[in-house]
């Protein structure tokens, strides 16, 4: 037995480097498992960061779209204001023409005398116009009809733009509400 013991010790002494290598090889998978785990965790962290970056990019893109929408709203508002100004101007012209029509209707003879007196001063006065007030009245009424149709068209256009603006504005406010609630 002693010989056997010596033989085992001798063999262990002889094969010790191989046993150490075997133990080292067995411990490497544990190190590799730890390294693999660290790489996996880093990969998960990077994927999380990429998702956050994409989320931020989509928010930035959404903000840019909303900024464009707000600029559009501002442009449309200015357009509507210009159309309203034009509408006020046309309504003032209509009132002036209506006032002139009333003056002609109230005293057509005075108007005829005024026009005839003016025509007498001009060398190319036509004698065909027996009642200049009637002709002037007809011209004013035609002009009044044209201005009334322009006013109706402008009011319709303004109302359409206001409806569009209101719809678009509520859409933008809804989107802003969704973004701010995130």
> Residue 162 contacts by C-beta under 8 Å, 6 or more apart in sequence?
80
Q: What is the mean pLDDT of residues 170-174?
A: 82
Q: What is the mean pLDDT of residues 51-63?
A: 81
Instruction: Give the pLDDT confidence score for residue 16 in this predicted structure.
Output: 61
Cα separation, 167 vs 78, whole angstroms: 17
Instruction: Give the pLDDT confidence score for residue 13 in this predicted structure.
Output: 59
pLDDT digits (tens, 9 = 90+) for 140-153: 899 999 999 999 99
> Residue 182 contacts by C-beta under 8 Å, 6 or more apart in sequence?
59
> Residue 91 contacts by C-beta under 8 Å, 6 or more apart in sequence?
151
- pLDDT grade for 180, boundaries at 50, 70 and 90: low
Residue 87, pLDDT above cutoff 90: yes
Residue 21, pLDDT above cutoff 60: no
Q: Give the burial class of 133: count Cβ atoms within 10 A of its Cβ; 0-12 exposed, 13-18 middle, 19 or more buried.
A: buried
Q: Which of 70-79, 89-98, 101-110 has the lowest mean pLDDT?
A: 101-110
Instruction: Give the pLDDT confidence score for residue 170 in this predicted structure.
Output: 85
Instruction: Give the pLDDT confidence score for residue 54 in this predicted structure.
Output: 80
pTM above 0.75, yes or no: no
Q: Which of 50-54, 111-115, 123-127 has the lowest mean pLDDT?
A: 123-127
């Amino acid at each position: 037995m002693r010989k056997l013991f010596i033989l085992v010790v001798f063999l262990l002494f002889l094969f010790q480097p191989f046993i150490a290598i075997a133990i080292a090889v067995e411990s490497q998978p544990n190190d590799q498992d730890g390294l693999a785990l660290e790489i996996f965790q880093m990969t998960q962290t990077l994927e999380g960061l990429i998702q956050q970056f994409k989320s931020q990019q989509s928010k930035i893109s959404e903000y840019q779209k909303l900024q464009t929408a707000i600029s559009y709203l501002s442009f449309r508002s200015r357009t509507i204001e210009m159309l309203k100004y034009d509408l006020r101007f046309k309504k003032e012209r209509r009132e002036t023409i209506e006032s002139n029509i009333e003056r002609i209707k109230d005293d057509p003879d005075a108007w005829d005398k005024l026009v005839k007196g003016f025509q007498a001063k001009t060398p190319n006065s036509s004698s065909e116009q027996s009642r200049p007030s009637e002709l002037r009245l007809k011209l004013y009424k035609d002009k009044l009809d044209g201005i009334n149709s322009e006013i109706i068209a402008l009011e319709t256009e303004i109302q359409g733009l206001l409806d569009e603006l209101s719809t678009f504005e509520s859409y933008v406010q809804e989107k802003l509400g969704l973004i701010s609630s995130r």
